[in-house]
């Protein structure tokens, strides 16, 4: 983890939030490479969940909602974690995170640590809306993006041609007053979710069928994007840990350096939400009923972190990120072999300008070529194109592959189609 956190800072993937003012616990800023990686993850998700399907539409709901939403959804009452306080130093922890509690007790070696009784702590972040002091309305920054899909259920049904079974997909920010943010971006107070709410007929048969279907779809999506299968698993929620809305739930977990950790939840929400919001669907036969919901709720930040961890490679010579090219922030980097030879620079610049409208393309003419390769390896750039003296004679360039370090010569005027094919 230490190596990865350092690489993220060094290369501009992730910085601590508000760093020059001492930071703000549980917040992170994505740098130039991290911002693109995040976009790419979201784009791939949207492509597979919305673009490639005919039964899913997307929404982008407001972060601030009428507070009644959170009353109806049960979050004001039940969106809580159990909090305990160390009676020696008053540090607070989640009572259900045994490992964190044990680690803390280690810091008081030799003393007997006593804890307060677990208290319910609501995770919703409050904000004040309005301009007149004393008349400001308390609103909540959404604790899950989910409710935006439910409150627009009728709007979506009446403004599109969806018919049950159908899904509403959304990507956006969520906020939680996490008691103990930590493990880098894994537990943040501001984070992004990518979620599907899939509405089905209310029957156990349909519920089981679609729950299994979405479990498979979501696991395959991660595997297709390059995750090491052995490091992924499903974990069923025990009755005691299930969220207030869930009939049953399974997490997709990754074996992180800090242990098996959830980064997506597949939840059977039954009719909890729609019935709480008093929303119904009119079937083909004119019958009204309350659909059930299967949810796939993934974290953008957690999957980004795990994509980085999973693709981190090192040997005695170099460090590289073997990210799937679809996710890699830059697809190609273009270099002139020598920066002080104007004819090489001119030719390389032309190739760079030609590729730029089609792919995120990096340019580098600093230092020696070896250092430039190492720098692109750390950024996860799959291909480096170098213009050398042979280019001036026969219009071929070298393409270096990030994972193998091997170079092949290739025609300069076919680069665009070559990379397009690789990325398809």
- To the nearest whole angstrom, how small is the minimum distance from the Cβ of residue 144 to ligand ATP? 6
Instruction: Report the alpha-carbon distance of residue 227 to residue 206 in Å, rounded.
Output: 30
Residues 207-246, one symbol each (x = binds ligand ATP by CB under 6 A, - = not), give: ----------------------------------------
Q: Which is nearer to ligand ATP, 301 or 388 (CB)?
A: 301
Q: Which is nearer to ligand ATP, 270 or 298 (CB)?
A: 298
Instruction: Report the alpha-carbon distance of residue 412 to residue 157 in Å, rounded.
Output: 51
The count of residues in the chain is 424
Sheet architecture: strand order including 259-270: 56-58, 166-175, 190-200, 292-299, 259-270, 248-256, 232-236
Residue 235 three-state SS: strand
Q: Which is nearer to ligand ATP, 86 or 300 (CB)?
A: 300
Stretch that binds ligand ATP, among 188-196, 208-216, 307-315, 343-351 (CB under 6 A): 188-196
DSSP letters for 274-302? HHHTT--EE-TTS-EE--EEEEEEEEHHH
Query: Applying CB under 6 A, which of residues 48, 147, 188, 290 lies at the interface with ligand ATP?
Result: 188
H/E stretch holding 100 = helix 98-107
Instruction: Report the alpha-carbon distance of residue 303 to residue 326 in Å, rounded.
Output: 15
Q: Which is nearer to ligand ATP, 97 or 104 (CB)?
A: 97
Q: Which is nearer to ligand ATP, 300 or 415 (CB)?
A: 300
Query: Applying CB under 6 A, which of residues 45, 150, 184, 191 lies at the interface with ligand ATP?
Result: 191
Q: Which residues share a beta bridge with 198?
A: 167, 294
Q: Which is nearer to ligand ATP, 120 or 371 (CB)?
A: 120
Q: Which residues share a beta bridge with 125?
A: 141
Binding residues for ligand ATP restricted to 147-176, rule: CB under 6 A: 176
Does 301 help bind ligand ATP (rule: CB under 6 A)?
yes
Stretch that binds ligand ATP, among 12-20, 124-132, 294-302, 324-332 (CB under 6 A): 294-302
Structure tokens given for 364: 């580098």
Does 381 help bind ligand ATP (rule: CB under 6 A)?
no
How large is the angle between the packed helices 2-11 and 300-311, nearest 10 degrees? 100
Instruction: Report the alpha-carbon distance of residue 102 to residue 188 in Å, rounded.
Output: 21
Stretch that binds ligand ATP, among 125-133, 291-299, 372-380, 389-397 (CB under 6 A): 291-299
Query: Applying CB under 6 A, which of residues 48, 73, 193, 391 lies at the interface with ligand ATP?
Result: 193
Does 197 help bind ligand ATP (rule: CB under 6 A)?
no
Cβ 193 vs Cβ 32: under 8 Å: no
Residues of this chain that interact with ligand ATP (CB under 6 A) are: 144, 176, 178, 187-188, 191, 193, 262-265, 297-299, 301-302
């Amino acid at each position: 983890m230490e190596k990865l956190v350092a690489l993220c800072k060094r290369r501009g993937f992730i910085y601590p939030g508000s760093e020059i003012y001492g930071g703000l616990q549980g917040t992170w800023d994505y740098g130039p490479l991290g911002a693109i990686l995040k976009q790419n993850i979201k784009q791939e998700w949207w492509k597979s969940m919305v673009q490639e399907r005919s039964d899913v539409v997307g929404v982008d709901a407001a972060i601030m909602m009428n507070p009644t939403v959170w009353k109806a959804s049960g979050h004001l009452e039940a969106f809580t974690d159990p909090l305990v306080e160390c009676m020696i130093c008053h540090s607070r922890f989640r009572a259900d995170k045994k490992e964190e509690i044990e680690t803390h007790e280690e810091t008081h070696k030799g003393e007997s640590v006593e804890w307060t009784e677990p208290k319910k702590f609501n995770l919703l972040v409050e904000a004040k809306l309005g301009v007149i002091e004393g008349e400001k309305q308390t609103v909540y920054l959404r604790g899950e993006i989910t409710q935006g899909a439910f409150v627009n259920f009728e709007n979506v049904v009446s403004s599109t041609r969806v018919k049950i079974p159908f899904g509403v997909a959304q990507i956006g920010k969520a906020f939680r007053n996490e008691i103990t943010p930590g493990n880098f971006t894994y537990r943040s107070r501001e984070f992004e979710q990518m979620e599907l709410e899939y509405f089905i007929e209310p029957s156990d048969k349909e519920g089981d069928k679609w729950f299994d279907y979405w479990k498979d779809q979501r696991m395959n999506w991660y595997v297709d994007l390059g995750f090491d299968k052995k490091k992924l698993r499903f974990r069923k929620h025990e009755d005691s840990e299930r969220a207030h809305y869930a009939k049953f739930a399974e997490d997709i977990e990754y074996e992180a350096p800090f242990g098996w950790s959830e980064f997506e939840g597949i939840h059977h929400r039954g009719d909890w939400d729609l019935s709480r919001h008093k929303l119904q669907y009119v079937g083909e036969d004119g019958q009204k009923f309350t659909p059930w919901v299967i949810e796939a709720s993934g974290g953008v930040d957690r999957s980004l972190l795990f994509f980085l961890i999973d693709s981190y490679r090192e040997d005695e010579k170099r460090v590289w990120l073997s990210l799937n090219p679809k996710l890699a922030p830059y697809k190609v980097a273009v270099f002139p072999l020598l920066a002080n030879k104007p004819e090489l620079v001119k030719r390389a610049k032309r190739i760079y300008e030609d590729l730029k409208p089609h792919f995120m393309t990096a340019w580098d003419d600093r230092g020696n070529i070896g250092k430039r390769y190492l720098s692109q390896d750390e950024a996860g750039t799959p291909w480096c194109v170098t213009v050398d003296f042979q280019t001036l004679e026969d219009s071929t360039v070298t393409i270096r592959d990030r994972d193998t370090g091997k170079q092949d010569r290739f025609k300069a005027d076919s680069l665009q189609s070559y990379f397009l094919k690789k990325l398809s």
